[in-house]
């Protein structure tokens, strides 16, 4: 797994579901733009779910929106900052 930040290399995949050289990008609640990124992802998943009439994708979108709500609550409690990659 290849992270954008070298200090994130300590974050690994113990179940080996991510390829050895697969790039990974982590979005943290602490980053101001995390909600924007997650919302774009969720909206794209939901759009595709509607196009395909795909129940699994609809459920995935719902899970992402729930995670957005958790992130927003975390940001209210802890604050957020500009991203640092």
Half-sphere exposure at residue 16, Cβ-oriented, CA atoms within 13 angstroms: 1
Examine residue 85 and state whether it is found in any structural domain, yes or no: no
Residues spanned by the domain of 55: 2-78
Examine residue 84 and state whether it is found in any structural domain, yes or no: no
Examine residue 83 and state whether it is found in any structural domain, yes or no: no
What Å distances lie between residue 32 and 27, 29, 78, CA to CA? Answer: 10, 7, 12
Whether 36 contacts 72, CB under 8 Å: no
Number of domains in the chain: 1
Examine residue 36 and state whether it is found in any structural domain, yes or no: yes
Handedness of CA 74, 68, 5, 11 (dihedral sign): positive
Cα distance between residue 75 and residue 84, in whole Å: 16
Instruction: Give pLDDT tens digits for 17-75.
Output: 999 899 988 899 999 999 999 999 999 999 999 999 999 999 999 999 999 999 999 99
pTM above 0.85, yes or no: no
């Amino acid at each position: 797994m290849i992270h954008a930040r070298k200090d994130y290399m300590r974050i690994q995949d113990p179940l080996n579901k991510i390829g050895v050289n697969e790039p990974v990008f982590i979005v943290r609640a602490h980053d101001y733009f995390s909600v924007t990124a997650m919302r774009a992802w969720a909206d794209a998943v939901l759009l595709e779910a509607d196009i395909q009439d795909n129940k699994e994708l609809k459920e995935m979108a719902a899970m992402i929106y729930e995670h957005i709500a958790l992130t927003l609550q975390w940001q209210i409690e802890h604050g957020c900052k500009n991203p640092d990659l």
